[in-house]
Amino acid sequence: MKNKKTENKTGGEFHASSRFPVPVGELFQWHARPGALERLSPPWDPVKVIEKNGGIDDGGTVRLKMKAGPFSYPWTARHRDYRKNRLFRDYQVKGPLAEWVHSHIFSHRGTGSSCLEDRIDFRFYFHRITRFFLEPVIRKKLERIFRYRHSITREDLKIHASVPGKKKMKIAVTGSGGVIGSTLIPFLETGGHEVFPMVRRKRGKRNEIPWDPSSGFLDRELLKGIDAVIHLSGEPIGSGIWSMKKKERIIESRRGSTGLLASAMAGMKRGPRVLISASAVGYYGSRGDAVMTEEDGPGEDFISRVCREWEDAAAPAAKKGIRVVLLRLGIVLTPAGGALQRLIPAFRAGLGGRMGSGRQYMSWVGIDDVLGSIHFALFNRGLHGPVNVVSPKPVTNRELTETLGRIMGMPALFPVPSWIIRGVFGEMGKEVLLSSTRVSPEKLIHEGYSFRHEALADALRHVLGKP
């Protein structure tokens, strides 16, 4: 990505441009599809979309909730100057600046290649005075954001182009409000797929499918015409103390919902032909330094039992001949949620450090490789059964915390002893924070999946916006 700084008498300008290995029409269409704005929102500084009216053509508006440190503020923009495959602009209608115009300029760059230039013209209130201390802050933030945006656009386009000629799918997704689901849906939408979130309310919005696993409610008629179901919902495991009631909710939320979906799909003549259901590497339990593959059996921990029953609940669909993929997910790295979100405040305060001995293995995966693996599973008929979704390069807890501290500029100097973790978090602390699970993604490698981020440092720099 190239960017340059220019100034004029009335305000500031920012430019960022990159080339992309797709025709200009494909690049433009990616930005025109639902989900593009959400997909381009950086995970360290997410934008909440409050309301959309229309698309990127003239007159379309979007209302956002944005953040500046601990403070949030509204932002409303209107699209104008739409020229297909060439240009569209966002004009600030309501926001913190006196003026903001974002021009998206597209151009042809030879066979199968195109260029996108993002140009932003901005002006502060009392610009002649405030620009001296505000403009450096804005430029630094924009450089970070557009480095991320162009990287996401390029890599997503590559993934969607990796299955040329494949029809666009109709995909139902459970857990659409979770960390993975809320990122997956924009990714699928910008690829041209039609997504149907499955929601736990009786009257869903357009494209939503109501269901209620706790009461066993699911109208099979609403799954007709759906090509695939991606099942991500379940009671959070890594938060709170594992009381008996909490453990029951953890198991039943997975076993009951998966069984309901699998049985409904198995009972349909023309239902979805693919079920991709989440699981976790906790299936293997704490196994020290031993390398686990999909051929290894379950451990003896509570989480192992959860994963085993979770996966077994999908059996009715597999017996019917539906292709079932069980995603054994590692620790998903994104500041938008999960383990990384909980670690960041401590490291920002200079209080980060290893947990316990630090020798326990942590099988991690970047959020974008979770999306890539799901897309790979959708279209790769050779994938079925358990699939480990982890980086090929697992690390110890010491390596993870030291790498995170280095990237954030805060050394990991404050270890948390094992006895404190066990005392505060009980069984959850022992199995989630102190367990050692070293997992290899054998099936993904064998089938030819190409990881975006194999190395931990690369993945952390990407999701944290650190060059």
Residue-wise pLDDT tens digits, 47-98: 889 999 999 999 999 999 988 777 889 999 999 999 999 999 999 999 999 9
Task: Please say if the pLDDT value at position 6 is more than 50.
Answer: no
Mean pLDDT of 267-293: 96
Task: Please say if the pLDDT value at position 4 is more than 70.
Answer: no
> How sure is the predictor about 203, in pLDDT bands with cuts at 50, 70 and 90?
low
Q: What token pair was written down for 387? A: 């699939």
User: What does the pLDDT look like over 229-279, one tens digit per residue?
Assistant: 999 998 888 777 888 999 999 999 999 999 999 999 999 988 999 999 999
User: What does the pLDDT look like over 128-152, one tens digit per residue?
Assistant: 888 888 888 889 999 999 999 999 9
Task: Please say if the pLDDT value at position 202 is more than 80.
Answer: no
User: What does the pLDDT look like over 418-450, one tens digit per residue?
Assistant: 888 888 778 888 888 899 999 999 999 999 999
- Predicted TM-score (pTM) of this structure: 0.93
Q: What are the structural domains of the chain?
A: 2-161 (3.30.530.20), 170-464 (3.40.50.720)
> Which pLDDT score, from 0 to 100, does residue 131 have?
82
Task: Please say if the pLDDT value at position 113 is more than 90.
Answer: yes
